[in-house]
Amino acid sequence: QVTLRESGPALVKPTQTLTLTCTFSGFSLSTSGMSVSWIRQPPGKGLEWLALIDGGDDKQYRRSLRTRLTISKDTSKNQVVLTMTDMDPVDTATYFCARTTASPPNYYYDGMDVWGQGTTVTVSS
Amino acid sequence: DVQMTQSPSSLSASVGDRVTITCRASLGIRSDLSWYQQKSGKAPKRLIYAASTLQSGVPSRFRGSGSGTEFTLTISSLQPEDVATYYCLQHNSYPIFTFGPGTKVDLK
Protein backbone atom coordinates (compact mmCIF):
# COMPACT_ATOMS: atom_id res chain seq x y z
CA GLN A 1 0.00 0.00 0.00
CA VAL A 2 1.35 3.37 -1.03
CA THR A 3 1.09 6.14 1.56
CA LEU A 4 2.50 9.63 1.94
CA ARG A 5 2.40 11.87 5.00
CA GLU A 6 3.35 15.52 5.26
CA SER A 7 4.83 17.04 8.39
CA GLY A 8 6.04 20.47 9.38
CA PRO A 9 5.16 23.55 11.41
CA ALA A 10 1.59 24.75 11.49
CA LEU A 11 2.64 28.36 11.99
CA VAL A 12 5.56 30.35 10.63
CA LYS A 13 6.36 34.03 10.84
CA PRO A 14 6.80 36.29 7.83
CA THR A 15 10.32 36.18 6.34
CA GLN A 16 11.03 32.81 7.96
CA THR A 17 11.93 29.67 6.05
CA LEU A 18 9.40 26.83 5.90
CA THR A 19 10.63 23.25 5.91
CA LEU A 20 8.17 20.46 5.09
CA THR A 21 8.87 16.74 5.07
CA CYS A 22 7.04 14.11 3.06
CA THR A 23 7.51 10.59 4.45
CA PHE A 24 6.37 7.86 2.12
CA SER A 25 6.06 4.10 2.02
CA GLY A 26 5.06 1.40 -0.42
CA PHE A 27 7.31 2.53 -3.26
CA SER A 28 10.90 3.53 -3.93
CA LEU A 29 12.10 6.68 -5.61
CA SER A 30 14.84 4.54 -7.09
CA THR A 31 12.27 2.78 -9.27
CA SER A 32 12.06 4.06 -12.83
CA GLY A 33 9.21 6.50 -13.35
CA MET A 34 8.75 7.42 -9.69
CA SER A 35 8.80 11.00 -8.45
CA VAL A 36 7.34 13.02 -5.62
CA SER A 37 5.65 16.40 -6.11
CA TRP A 38 4.61 19.15 -3.71
CA ILE A 39 1.34 20.97 -4.34
CA ARG A 40 -0.36 23.66 -2.27
CA GLN A 41 -3.86 25.04 -1.92
CA PRO A 42 -4.59 28.42 -0.31
CA PRO A 43 -7.82 28.52 1.70
CA GLY A 44 -10.83 28.45 -0.62
CA LYS A 45 -8.66 28.45 -3.76
CA GLY A 46 -7.36 26.01 -6.34
CA LEU A 47 -4.38 23.68 -6.53
CA GLU A 48 -0.90 24.94 -7.37
CA TRP A 49 1.99 22.62 -8.24
CA LEU A 50 5.26 23.68 -6.62
CA ALA A 51 8.08 21.23 -7.24
CA LEU A 52 9.05 17.68 -8.19
CA ILE A 53 12.03 15.40 -7.58
CA ASP A 54 12.74 12.01 -9.10
CA GLY A 55 15.01 9.12 -8.24
CA GLY A 56 17.78 10.48 -10.43
CA ASP A 57 17.70 13.68 -8.36
CA ASP A 58 16.25 15.65 -11.28
CA LYS A 59 14.35 18.62 -9.84
CA GLN A 60 11.67 20.82 -11.36
CA TYR A 61 10.20 23.99 -9.86
CA ARG A 62 7.28 26.30 -10.43
CA ARG A 63 8.73 29.15 -12.45
CA SER A 64 7.29 31.95 -10.30
CA LEU A 65 8.65 30.44 -7.05
CA ARG A 66 11.91 29.01 -8.33
CA THR A 67 14.14 31.35 -6.34
CA ARG A 68 12.41 30.48 -3.05
CA LEU A 69 12.03 26.71 -3.34
CA THR A 70 14.43 23.85 -2.76
CA ILE A 71 13.40 20.20 -3.00
CA SER A 72 15.62 17.37 -1.83
CA LYS A 73 15.36 13.68 -0.98
CA ASP A 74 16.73 11.18 1.48
CA THR A 75 16.22 7.87 -0.27
CA SER A 76 17.36 5.83 2.75
CA LYS A 77 14.64 7.42 4.89
CA ASN A 78 11.99 7.52 2.15
CA GLN A 79 11.62 11.24 2.63
CA VAL A 80 11.33 14.28 0.39
CA VAL A 81 11.91 17.72 1.88
CA LEU A 82 10.67 21.06 0.56
CA THR A 83 12.02 24.35 1.82
CA MET A 84 10.46 27.70 0.99
CA THR A 85 12.28 30.85 1.99
CA ASP A 86 10.99 34.33 2.84
CA MET A 87 7.49 33.20 3.79
CA ASP A 88 4.64 35.68 3.41
CA PRO A 89 1.00 35.59 4.54
CA VAL A 90 0.00 34.83 0.92
CA ASP A 91 1.85 31.51 1.32
CA THR A 92 -0.76 30.41 3.87
CA ALA A 93 -2.08 27.15 2.44
CA THR A 94 -2.51 23.43 2.81
CA TYR A 95 0.59 21.74 1.43
CA PHE A 96 0.29 18.28 -0.12
CA CYS A 97 2.89 15.82 -1.32
CA ALA A 98 1.92 13.26 -3.93
CA ARG A 99 3.50 10.36 -5.77
CA THR A 100 3.99 11.33 -9.37
CA THR A 101 4.50 8.65 -11.98
CA ALA A 102 5.72 8.35 -15.53
CA SER A 103 5.04 5.22 -17.54
CA PRO A 104 7.05 3.32 -20.13
CA PRO A 105 7.94 3.27 -22.89
CA ASN A 106 8.37 7.03 -23.19
CA TYR A 107 8.06 7.89 -19.50
CA TYR A 108 5.69 10.77 -20.06
CA TYR A 109 4.17 11.88 -16.77
CA ASP A 110 0.81 10.39 -15.74
CA GLY A 111 0.06 12.85 -12.97
CA MET A 112 -0.27 12.24 -9.23
CA ASP A 113 -1.83 8.92 -8.30
CA VAL A 114 -1.52 8.92 -4.50
CA TRP A 115 -1.69 11.98 -2.24
CA GLY A 116 -0.91 12.67 1.36
CA GLN A 117 -3.61 14.16 3.58
CA GLY A 118 -1.97 17.58 3.55
CA THR A 119 -0.58 19.85 6.23
CA THR A 120 -1.89 23.33 6.89
CA VAL A 121 0.62 26.15 7.21
CA THR A 122 -0.33 29.62 8.40
CA VAL A 123 2.02 32.55 7.93
CA SER A 124 1.41 35.19 10.55
CA SER A 125 3.33 37.31 13.00
CA ASP B 1 3.82 28.61 -20.37
CA VAL B 2 0.74 26.52 -21.06
CA GLN B 3 -2.42 27.86 -19.44
CA MET B 4 -5.41 25.73 -18.48
CA THR B 5 -9.02 26.86 -18.40
CA GLN B 6 -12.09 24.98 -17.21
CA SER B 7 -15.76 25.50 -17.86
CA PRO B 8 -18.09 25.92 -16.21
CA SER B 9 -16.60 27.19 -12.98
CA SER B 10 -19.56 25.73 -11.12
CA LEU B 11 -22.73 23.80 -11.84
CA SER B 12 -25.75 22.41 -10.09
CA ALA B 13 -27.33 19.20 -11.29
CA SER B 14 -29.83 16.60 -10.11
CA VAL B 15 -29.11 13.02 -9.14
CA GLY B 16 -29.01 10.97 -12.33
CA ASP B 17 -28.11 13.89 -14.58
CA ARG B 18 -25.30 13.72 -17.10
CA VAL B 19 -22.58 16.24 -16.21
CA THR B 20 -19.88 17.49 -18.57
CA ILE B 21 -16.82 19.55 -17.62
CA THR B 22 -14.48 20.96 -20.25
CA CYS B 23 -10.78 21.71 -19.87
CA ARG B 24 -8.81 23.64 -22.51
CA ALA B 25 -5.06 24.04 -22.87
CA SER B 26 -3.47 27.09 -24.47
CA LEU B 27 -1.05 24.81 -26.32
CA GLY B 28 -1.36 21.26 -27.58
CA ILE B 29 -0.53 18.77 -24.84
CA ARG B 30 -1.20 15.46 -26.62
CA SER B 31 -3.10 13.32 -24.08
CA ASP B 32 -0.93 14.38 -21.13
CA LEU B 33 -3.87 15.31 -18.92
CA SER B 34 -5.45 13.88 -15.80
CA TRP B 35 -8.59 14.66 -13.81
CA TYR B 36 -8.95 14.94 -10.04
CA GLN B 37 -11.87 15.00 -7.64
CA GLN B 38 -11.53 16.92 -4.39
CA LYS B 39 -14.17 16.67 -1.72
CA SER B 40 -14.39 19.33 0.96
CA GLY B 41 -11.50 19.15 3.39
CA LYS B 42 -9.90 16.18 1.66
CA ALA B 43 -6.91 15.56 -0.57
CA PRO B 44 -7.53 15.31 -4.31
CA LYS B 45 -8.13 11.90 -5.83
CA ARG B 46 -7.13 10.99 -9.38
CA LEU B 47 -10.03 9.82 -11.54
CA ILE B 48 -8.59 9.73 -15.05
CA TYR B 49 -5.08 9.79 -16.51
CA ALA B 50 -3.72 9.91 -20.04
CA ALA B 51 -6.89 11.87 -20.84
CA SER B 52 -9.15 8.81 -20.97
CA THR B 53 -7.80 5.98 -18.79
CA LEU B 54 -9.95 5.28 -15.75
CA GLN B 55 -8.04 5.05 -12.47
CA SER B 56 -8.43 1.65 -10.83
CA GLY B 57 -11.34 1.64 -8.39
CA VAL B 58 -13.08 4.68 -9.87
CA PRO B 59 -16.70 4.10 -10.89
CA SER B 60 -17.33 3.63 -14.60
CA ARG B 61 -19.76 6.55 -14.67
CA PHE B 62 -16.67 8.77 -14.92
CA ARG B 63 -15.27 9.11 -18.45
CA GLY B 64 -12.52 11.25 -19.88
CA SER B 65 -11.99 12.16 -23.51
CA GLY B 66 -10.06 14.53 -25.75
CA SER B 67 -6.54 15.27 -26.88
CA GLY B 68 -4.50 18.23 -28.02
CA THR B 69 -6.15 21.31 -26.52
CA GLU B 70 -9.67 20.25 -25.55
CA PHE B 71 -10.63 17.67 -22.97
CA THR B 72 -13.85 16.57 -21.32
CA LEU B 73 -14.78 14.84 -18.08
CA THR B 74 -18.25 13.32 -18.15
CA ILE B 75 -20.21 11.90 -15.23
CA SER B 76 -22.89 9.81 -16.90
CA SER B 77 -25.28 9.70 -13.95
CA LEU B 78 -24.52 12.09 -11.10
CA GLN B 79 -24.60 10.58 -7.62
CA PRO B 80 -24.73 12.38 -4.27
CA GLU B 81 -21.19 11.28 -3.48
CA ASP B 82 -19.95 13.07 -6.62
CA VAL B 83 -20.42 16.49 -5.02
CA ALA B 84 -16.90 17.89 -5.18
CA THR B 85 -14.59 20.21 -7.06
CA TYR B 86 -12.99 18.76 -10.17
CA TYR B 87 -9.59 19.79 -11.51
CA CYS B 88 -7.77 18.99 -14.71
CA LEU B 89 -3.98 18.82 -14.71
CA GLN B 90 -1.64 19.06 -17.68
CA HIS B 91 1.72 17.33 -17.47
CA ASN B 92 3.19 17.96 -20.88
CA SER B 93 4.57 21.46 -21.23
CA TYR B 94 6.86 23.48 -18.97
CA PRO B 95 6.08 24.25 -16.22
CA ILE B 96 5.58 20.57 -16.02
CA PHE B 97 2.33 20.60 -14.11
CA THR B 98 -0.47 23.12 -14.42
CA PHE B 99 -3.86 22.68 -12.80
CA GLY B 100 -7.05 24.09 -14.19
CA PRO B 101 -8.94 26.50 -11.92
CA GLY B 102 -11.52 23.88 -10.95
CA THR B 103 -15.23 23.18 -11.43
CA LYS B 104 -17.47 22.96 -8.38
CA VAL B 105 -20.29 20.43 -8.73
CA ASP B 106 -23.21 20.38 -6.33
CA LEU B 107 -26.73 19.00 -6.22
CA LYS B 108 -29.75 20.94 -7.37
What is the CA angle A12-A14-A20, rounded to 5?
40
pLDDT-above-70 percentage for chain B: 98
Between the alpha carbon of residue B61 and those of residues A107, A108, B68, B82, B104, the distances in Å are 28, 26, 23, 10, 18
Strand duo A11-12 + B103-107: pairing: unpaired
pLDDT tens digits, one per residue of A82-121:
999 999 999 999 999 999 999 888 888 899 999 999 999 9
Residues of B with Cβ-Cβ distance to A52 under 8 angstroms: 96-97
Chain A residue with minimal CA distance to B29? A108
pLDDT-above-90 percentage for chain B: 93
Task: Closest CB to A111: pick one of B42, B91, B94.
Answer: B91
pLDDT tens digits, one per residue of A28-56:
999 999 999 999 999 999 999 999 999 88
Residues of A with Cβ-Cβ distance to B92 under 8 angstroms: 108-109
Q: Provide mean pLDDT across the span A1-19.
A: 98
Residues of B with Cβ-Cβ distance to A61 under 8 angstroms: 95
Chain A residue with minimal CA distance to B89? A111
User: Are A110 and B34 in contact (CB < 8 Å)?
Assistant: yes
pLDDT in the model for residue B95:
67
pLDDT-above-70 percentage for chain A: 100
